[in-house]
Amino acid sequence: MTAQRITQILLPADVSFLRCPSCAGSLEPRGPEQLACAGCGGSYPVRLGIPRFIADESYAANFGYQWRLHSRTQLDRHSGLSISRDRFHRQTGWKLEELRGKRVLEVGCGAGRFTDIVLGAGAEVWAIDLSLAIEANLENHPETQSLRLIQADLHRLPFAKDSFDFVFCFGVLQHTADPCRAFGSLVPFLKPGMGRIAVDIYPRSLRFLLHPKYLLRPLTRRMSKEKLYDLIRRRARSLLALSDFLHGIPLLGKHLARLVPIANYRSVFALPDTMLLDWAVLDTFDWLSPRYDRPATLAQLRSWLHEARLTDVEALDQVVYVGRGRRA
Q: What is the pLDDT of residue 36?
A: 97
Q: What is the pLDDT of residue 3?
A: 43
In the chain, the amino acid numbered 274 is T
| Pure H helices in 18-128 | 61-69, 76-79, 83-92, 96-99, 113-120
Side-chain half-sphere exposure of 83, counting CA atoms within 13 A: 18
Q: Is residue 19's pLDDT more than 70?
A: yes
Strands (E), the chain: 27-29, 34-37, 43-47, 50-51, 103-107, 124-129, 147-151, 166-169, 196-201, 310-318, 320-327
Residue 219, classified by CB atoms within 10 Å of its CB into exposed (0-12), middle (13-18) or buried (19+), is exposed
* Mean pLDDT, residues 255-282 taken together: 96
Task: Kindly report, residue by residue over 158-200, the tens digit of the pLDDT.
Answer: 999 999 999 999 999 999 999 999 999 999 999 999 999 999 9
Cβ–Cβ under 8 Å, residues 53 and 158? yes
Q: Which CATH number fits domain 74-203+296-327: 3.40.50.150, 3.40.47.10, 3.40.50.1100, 3.40.190.10?
A: 3.40.50.150
Q: How far apart are the first and last CA of the chain?
A: 42
Q: What is the pLDDT of residue 82?
A: 98
Cβ–Cβ under 8 Å, residues 266 and 276? yes
- d(C-alpha 175, C-alpha 179), whole Å: 8
Cβ–Cβ under 8 Å, residues 124 and 52? no
The ranges assigned to domains in the chain are 74-203+296-327, 207-288
For residue 127, give the 3-state DSSP assignment: strand
- d(C-alpha 136, C-alpha 71), whole Å: 6
Task: Kindly report, residue by residue over 55-96, the tens digit of the pLDDT.
Answer: 999 999 999 999 999 999 999 999 999 999 999 999 999 999
* Mean pLDDT, residues 139-160 taken together: 96
Side-chain half-sphere exposure of 58, counting CA atoms within 13 A: 14
Higher pLDDT: 32 or 154? It is 154
Q: What is the pLDDT of residue 148?
A: 97
Whole-angstrom CA distances from 113 to 67, 123, 234 are: 11, 15, 26
Q: What is the pLDDT of residue 5?
A: 66
Query: What's this model's pTM, rounded to 2 decimal places?
Result: 0.95
- d(C-alpha 75, C-alpha 79), whole Å: 6
Q: Is residue 23's pLDDT more than 80?
A: yes
Q: Using alpha carbons, select from 35, 6, 37, 279 the residue that is nearest to residue 147.
A: 6
Cβ–Cβ under 8 Å, residues 46 and 10? yes
For residue 272, give the 3-state DSSP assignment: coil
Q: What is the pLDDT of residue 288?
A: 97
Cβ contacts of residue 217 below 8 Å, gap of 6+?
287, 288, 290, 293
- d(C-alpha 189, C-alpha 114), whole Å: 20
* Mean pLDDT, residues 297-303 taken together: 98
Quick one: what percent of the chain has pLDDT higher than 70?
98
Q: What is the pLDDT of residue 326?
A: 98
Q: Is residue 4's pLDDT more than 80?
A: no
Beta-bridge partners for 107: 128
Task: Kindly report, residue by residue over 101-121, the tens digit of the pLDDT.
Answer: 999 999 999 999 999 999 999
